[in-house]
Amino acid sequence: MATNRTFTMLKPDSVEKGYIGAILEKINAAGFRIAAIKMTQMTDADARAFYAVHSARPFFGELVEFMTSGPIVAAILEKENAVEDFRVLIGATNPADAAEGTIRKLYASSMGENAVHGSDSDENAAIEGAFHFSGREIF
């Protein structure tokens, strides 16, 4: 059953380049309500656990190194059909393939440094939100 919630991270490249405000504005304009938000930095162990599904992939080391390289903004977003609609808003994993107007088209520079994370299922949205937020940080 749809939870109407998804989880996002503005990745270290977005924070480093000063895009937090612009990306949050796009998220708000697309009709998402922010249910939880924080700036944090993942440790090596955090990133390995968060991206465990990709641990066998050749880019895993690079992914962990990048995601721990600086602070991120983690958030839980609420909207009808949140997971699917947010994936549309962020665009394809590779910004070269991302549609015009999507967050990755506007703010990502490469497949690795692709500006934002978006959950790929309701189940993972719940797991990922709980990874970063306690119950009393979610509104």
Contact positions vs ligand ATP (CB under 6 A): 54, 59, 62-63, 93, 111-112, 114, 117-118, 120
Supply the minimum distance, in Å, between the C-beta of residue 18 and ligand ATP: 20
User: 79, 104, 117, 132: which one is catalytic?
Assistant: 117
CB 111 within 8 A of CB 98: no
Residue 87: count of CB within 10 angstroms of its CB: 16
Q: What is the DSSP letter of 31?
A: T
Supply the minimum distance, in Å, between the C-beta of residue 96 and Mg ion: 17
Distances (CA, A) of 64 to 43, 44, 60, 61: 9, 7, 6, 5
Residue whose CB is nearest to ligand ATP in the complex, by number? 93
Supply the minimum distance, in Å, between the C-beta of residue 103 and Mg ion: 14
- Active site includes 132? no
- Which residues, at least 6 apart from 54, have a Cβ–Cβ distance to it below 8 Å? 60, 63
Q: Please choose, from the candidates 130, 129, 110, the residue with its C-alpha nearest in 3D space to the C-alpha of residue 8.
A: 129
Nearer to Mg ion, 11 or 26 (CB): 11
Nearer to Mg ion, 34 or 63 (CB): 63
Residues that bind Mg ion (CB under 5 A): 120
